[in-house]
């Protein structure tokens, strides 16, 4: 696995329109772990890609009517089987963090990489997801040396009170120990 021209070699690419240039490409210094499932707490299907591609049909599920208008994206998605989909090249800004702050800096999208885990706050993630996330993280750490293990956070840490992901089901010690 490697990164070339902002793309992870092990990923399936599905470019999201929800991206724009970073203020400073040299300032990629934070990794944010998220979770997502569409519909909530249901896995599989094309819906996450459709959301990030602005083509989620609001008539497919009542919840989709609430979110279909959102313009959001992430750099990567790791699904339950460990497959990786990339929506935004790393040198571009993905729209994953929203209103956020880390160590006194706001607008975390400007300087972060966002990785979505297909999951939900209170549903255990799969062994394969942890293995792939650790492998991807090692590649990201090599390519972006300003990201260190203490600059890997959950969405809940940069948007407290607004976001809860990746949730209590995410095993931070397991993930961080796999990076040593």
Active site residues: 116
CA–CA separation, 134 and 119 (whole Å): 16
| Selection from 7, 72, 14, 13 nearest residue 38 by Cα | 72
Cα within 13 Å of Cα(162), Cβ side = 10
Contact 110, 94 (CB under 8 A): no
Run of H or E including 86: strand 84-86
27: phi then psi, degrees, rounded to nearest 5 = -105, 40
110: phi then psi, degrees, rounded to nearest 5 = -60, -35
Contact 102, 108 (CB under 8 A): yes
């Amino acid at each position: 696995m490697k990164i070339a021209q902002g793309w992870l070699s092990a990923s399936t690419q599905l470019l999201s329109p929800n991206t724009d240039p970073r203020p400073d490409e040299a300032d990629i210094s934070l990794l944010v772990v998220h979770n997502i499932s569409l519909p909530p707490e249901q896995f599989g299907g094309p819906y996450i890609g459709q959301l990030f591609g602005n083509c989620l049909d609001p008539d497919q599920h009542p919840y989709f009517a609430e979110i279909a208008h959102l313009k959001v994206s992430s750099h990567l998605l790791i699904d339950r089987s460990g497959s990786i989909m990339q929506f935004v090249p790393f040198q571009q800004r993905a729209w994953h963090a929203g209103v956020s702050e880390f160590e006194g800096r706001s607008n975390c999208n400007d300087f972060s990489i966002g990785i979505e885990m297909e999951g939900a706050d209170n549903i255990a993630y799969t062994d394969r997801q942890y293995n792939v996330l650790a492998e991807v993280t090692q590649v990201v750490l090599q390519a972006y040396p300003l990201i260190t293990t203490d600059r890997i956070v959950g969405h809940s840490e940069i948007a407290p009170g607004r976001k809860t992901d990746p949730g209590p089901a995410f095993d931070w010690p397991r993930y961080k120990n796999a990076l040593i």
